[in-house]
Amino acid sequence: MLKTYICPDCGMAVGDGSTACIRCGCPMQQIREGRKTRVKLPYTQWAGQNDVKSAPRDAFGNPNGSNYDLLRDGSMKGYKILLINLCPSWDACGKRESYQGPVRALEGKGFTVNYTAQFPENFAAATQDVCQVWLISGNERTLTEANIRDLKHFYDQGRGLYLWADNDPFFADVNAVLRAWFGSRMQGDYRGDRVIGVQEGRGAGIVAGHLISTGIANFYEGITISNVTLTGPLKPLVYSSDNNVVTAYADEGGKRLLVDGGFTRLYNKWNSAGTDRYVVNAAGWLGNFEKFGWRIPE
């Protein structure tokens, strides 16, 4: 009969045949020895690895299974994301999406996703207990200067911000933020619709070794996309097949932000290469647990 041990980090009963605690990820060797983990993060053992040669493959050649994501399943219980969709109705940019694909993927890691189709009137109250905000841009600017100040205050606290845009003109709201904060902008109307790999040299692909690219050997770039001008703290994360930066990130002064020129990737061809993994990895990185620490779920 297998012996049962108690995890020293979270108190969960763990069978001797396990490799780690399913709640907090404490390795089995430490559980047997009763040693606590010095720095606790919700990441899997594959964090920062684009590929795992020994792993089974999905239809797109990526490691198959949620255990190859950046975040462990269920590790985000108690964490909330606010998703603000400013993209209008059918006659402007296609049928308004509620983004059920990414919402389900995030919920699989334990996140609670609060969805709204307008910028909250009381942003401070709406974000009081959320760890990050995801904002989908419209084709005409609706963000006010006060809204941008609210977002800046949220970002300056170190809480994560994901700015989603798409092809011209669906970057109006994002551009208002980028101009105000970084002197940057989004532009372009490129039809991509290709699967790209890990970047080699200066070509297309997702940058190797970033936490967000964990478990992603192949990645769908989106159908119609725009590109980001890199200024200030903005750095490239994904180069689209036209060799422009479709996704950039900022990681400076304890603050983390993502800017993306392909929000249709979140619902059009959702089941294509790497999208669900990318979404949960991005949320894990934006959680900024290295700064704030991580609460082990009850």
What gap in Å lies between CA 145 and CA 176, rounded to an integer?
9
The full length of the chain comes to: 298
Which residues make Cβ contacts (< 8 Å) with residue 245, sequence separation at least 6?
Answer: 227, 228, 230, 236, 237, 238, 239
Query: In this predicted structure, what is the pLDDT of residue 95?
Result: 59
Q: Kindly tell me if the per-residue pLDDT of 93 is higher than 70.
A: no
Instruction: Characterise 11 by phi-psi region: left (phi > 0), alpha (psi -120 to 50), beta (else).
Output: left
β-sheet bridge partners, residue 141: none
Closest CA to 278 of 105, 157, 128, 147: 105
Q: Estimate to the nearest angstrom the gap between the alpha carbon of 96 and the chain centroid.
A: 21
| Domain 66-292 CATH class label | alpha beta
Q: Could you tell me which residue, 190 or 98, shows the higher pLDDT?
A: 190
- Residue-averaged pLDDT of the chain: 93
**C-alpha triplet 170, 175, 178: angle, nearest 5°:** 145
Q: What is the mean pLDDT of residues 4-25?
A: 86
227-282 pLDDT, tens digit each: 999 999 999 999 999 999 999 999 999 999 999 999 999 988 999 999 999 999 99
Which residues make Cβ contacts (< 8 Å) with residue 56, sequence separation at least 6?
Answer: 63, 64, 65
Q: What is the mean pLDDT of residues 186-208?
A: 94
Q: Kindly tell me if the per-residue pLDDT of 23 is higher than 90.
A: no
Dihedral (CA of 195, 197, 200, 206) sign: positive
AA identity, residue 48: G
Q: Helix axis angle, 275-286 relative to 100-108, nearest 10°?
A: 60
Query: In this predicted structure, what is the pLDDT of residue 21?
Result: 86
Query: In this predicted structure, what is the pLDDT of residue 16?
Result: 83
Q: What is the mean pLDDT of residues 120-134?
A: 98
**C-alpha triplet 213, 150, 188: angle, nearest 5°:** 50
φ, ψ of residue 14 in degrees (nearest 5): -125, 125
Query: In this predicted structure, what is the pLDDT of residue 186?
Result: 98
Question: Where along the chain do its domains lie?
Answer: 4-33, 66-292
Tokens 């462990």 belong to residue: 72
